Structure 1
């Protein structure tokens, strides 16, 4: 999972770099498409490299290629009930997250579409990196569920959700205060409005938050959210299309309509389901997660300060002297210590 997050960070970095260079070179929205393609290519190449060269998956595949305990039909029958539901949910995530760019290209100007697409990709990159801890904890959460260790599941989930919230707020704040002026300085005609950016960031954060809740539920081999994700995904597209085509809501419409529609049910329902299973609330979850993160930060800070003050080095020197000293002056010094 660490290497997947590493590949994801590299891919997002390629997207941001290629997108900024393309925009500064005057290629417009075409540069964002090329950057998105390059990002996906880098992500796939790095994941394939880690899978084959680091984890030696090709050797593992050769070992189990000729196993006869389970037939392909039997394996497919076990996987199919959840596989098709998960596939539909993946399509729905695309509809609620990426298909709005296609609608914006039909009803907004090229300038507004470029701003919307660029802002959305930057926010997705920030929030995706912020929730990297949760992705790393998924195997541990699954293991805790199998062993019925609900306290460990609550601890891991609370820590990762609080970390995601804190890093998302920090990243969006930094981009809104520093990143937007830098983009404006690099290209004077490319203006990102902070209110639109903040509302868009809030909407994308809620999508990522309930997506993580859905992922948590799926670790228990249940997918109860399939129908609601599909229904509200289609409803979001219809309402966005009507708002843009018949009411001319423009950029604010394409930002606010998905937020309002998804907040009717999905944005709170599945978070509530997970919190109910963990016997906590949203406030209690974030509070406990923040407490754990502060304890981790304090331990790291004590370790860093002890190294800076030389206490650890001093202890090491004392232990070495005690181990190797003979009778005489060193032992007298240690007696004084």
Structure 2
């Protein structure tokens, strides 16, 4: 049976993986600006925009597969559409696990093919009218073809992420992402030394997808437990069992998919509204602030990726004490890291940026609203992911309604005023009416605790572990 535990490696690599993924695009930016023309840079950002939109095509399958794989490792032999039965034994149904792996391969193959078809038709028409008329030449068309190939690999091999995370190998999936990103950076930087064309960073994207698959394949199949049952896990596709699995996971998958779309609207929608209604200079200030605030939220919440498999496993066993301990550590780490990071940004990073371009840096008052919004938003999103660990998605309707109301109110009020404070306050108020407080309270009721108790317990555990590590370090 796969053992789920909050190891130091899982936590550290979760943070490293998140930070490196966010930083990799910035690391290659100076080379993009130096070697490519302004038109080619515009083409590159269009490619990145299309690449970002393809993430939505996952439509909830990634968390659904990861969640159900964790249930199987924890002793479940029957999958349910809603909720999860209590495991009576720790025996793993490897035949069911094999069927889940085969189902994931089929689903992600379909997602990749649909994406390639859509981008090949609609994306190519768009690029022909917008880019290829301005940038004539076979190199630009060929780079577009290479990009489409990279989309296929990046999406198809995405099932490895769910497979590793569901198997408790959070450290390994983050390692694979980091090492693949490093290869992407190396290929891009070295490639520019030989060819100053848009094809170089596009090949870098392709290398990332292939490298990620190679690393993940190695990490999963080299596991001792996996090798012992490799013959069963490599079984051929059984269409009937695949259909049965899809029937079991689909009811929550489409809910997860709608939640991901609502999250996109709740975060990216504000930036779109800023571009429509605010002056260009003010939009730049707003965008910089949002970039830092969202990065703080994403970075501080990285630990959630490490604990979700453990939450799923412990709920199967109905081990509520373990659920309290794991949740308290994650929430406390998020709270303290977020606000320590916020202080660092305000006191160190912003003053440095003002030396370069003072008019583009948001003031503390404006940035404070952004910090409050993303802190509360990431908080209730984290608790929603904890609730989903129990194979229920009760928050779907609330998330969708909130996102739609937020966009409508912003459109109406910004049309009337065009004030940046409208853009800052409306999202805070709309999310604060329900989502910010209800879903943390909902989860706490399930595990019979409170947010205050979780924060106190988690802080005590963090201090205790820090002292233990400090003493161990001093004894070396």
TM-score class normalised by the smaller sequence: 0.7 to 0.9
- Is 2:454 the counterpart of 1:285? yes
CA distance in 2, matches of 1:49, 1:161: 33
**Residues 248-300 of structure 1, C-alpha deviations (whole Å, 9 max, x = no match):** 3x221111110100100011000001111121211111011101111111111
* Other structure's SS at 1:71 match: helix
Match among 247, 252, 258 for residue 427 of structure 2: 258
Deviations 1:98-156 (A, max 9, x none): 12111110101222222222221222222212122221011111111111110000000
Deviations 1:169-214 (A, max 9, x none): 0001100111101111122432221111121011011111111111
State the partner residue of 2:439.
Answer: 270
Residue 62 of structure 1: CA displacement?
Answer: 10
- Which ranges of structure 2 fall in alignment gaps of 5 or more residues? 1-9, 53-153, 155-180, 182-204
Shift of 1:51: 2.3
Quick check: 4-13 or 253-262, which moved more?
4-13
User: If you compute each CA radius of gyration, which structure gives the higher value, 1 or 2?
Assistant: 1
Asked if 1:296 corresponds to 2:461, the answer is: no
Corresponding position: 1:208 with 2:219 = no
2:341 equivalent among 153, 159, 171: 171
Work out which structure has the larger RCO, using CA pairs closer than 8 Å and 6 or more positions apart in sequence.
Answer: 2
1:47–1:62 CA distance, 2 compared to 1 (3 A): farther
Give CA deviations for 1:297-337 in whole Å, capped at 9, x if unaligned. 11112122223xxxxxxxxxxxxxxxxxxxxxxxxxxxxxx
Distance 1:235 1:283, change over 3 A: same
Describe the SS at the equivalent of 1:98.
Answer: helix
How far apart are 1:157 and its partner, in Å?
0.2
Q: Equivalences for 1:100-115 in 2 at 5 Å?
A: 100-115=270-285
- Do the aligned partners of residues 62 and 20 (structure 1) sit closer, same or farther apart at CA in structure 2, a change above 3 Å counting? farther
Are the counterparts in 2 of residues 213 and 274 from structure 1 also a CA contact under 8 Å?
A: yes
| Contact 1:4–1:47 (Cα < 8 Å) also in 2 | no
Give 1:69 shift: 8.0
Distance 1:62 1:173 in 2: 52
Mapped to 1, the partners of 2:446 and 2:268 lie a distance apart of 31
- Please state if 1:184 is matched with 2:354: yes
Q: Does 1:9 align with 2:19?
A: yes
Cα separation, 1, equivalents of 2:303 and 2:47: 24
Check 1:23–1:119 CA distance in 2 against 1; reply closer, same or farther (3 A cut). farther
Q: Is the 2:288–2:362 contact (alpha carbons within 8 Å) kept by the matching residues of 1? A: no
1:80 maps to what in 2? 250
| Aligned twin of 2:127 | none
> 1:84-163, aligned counterparts within 5 Å?
84-163=254-333
How far residue 5 of structure 1 moved from its aligned partner, in angstroms, is 4.9
Q: Which moved more, 1:156-165 or 1:123-132?
A: 123-132
Structure 1: 5+ residue stretches without partners = 308-337
Deviation at 1:90, TM superposition (A): 0.4
**Could you tell me how far apart the structure 2 residues matched to 1:163 and 1:151 are?**
18
Structure 1 pair 66–182 and aligned structure 2 pair: CA distance change class (3 A): same
2:220 corresponds to? 55
Q: Cα gap change, 1:63/1:281 in structure 2, threshold over 3 Å: closer, same or farther?
A: closer
Residue 14 of structure 1, CA deviation: 2.3
Separation (CA, whole Å) in 2 of partners of 1:136 and 1:17: 26
Taking structure 1 as the reference length, the TM-score comes to 0.80
**Paired residue secondary structure (2:359):** coil
Q: 1:21 to 1:117 in 2, by over 3 A?
A: farther
Q: TM-score, normalised by structure 2?
A: 0.58
- The answer (yes or no) to whether the contact 2:328–2:454 under 8 Å persists in 1 is yes
Give the C-alpha shift of residue 49 in structure 1: 4.9
Q: Is the 8 A contact 1:104 1:254 kept in 2?
A: yes
Cα displacement (A) at 1:34: 3.7
Conservation of the 8 A alpha-carbon contact between 1:244 and 1:253: yes
Please state how far the C-alpha of 1:6 moved relative to its aligned partner: 3.6
C-alpha displacement of 1:64: 4.1
What secondary structure sits across from 1:55 in the alignment? helix
Distance in 2, Cα, partners of 1:52 & 1:123: 35
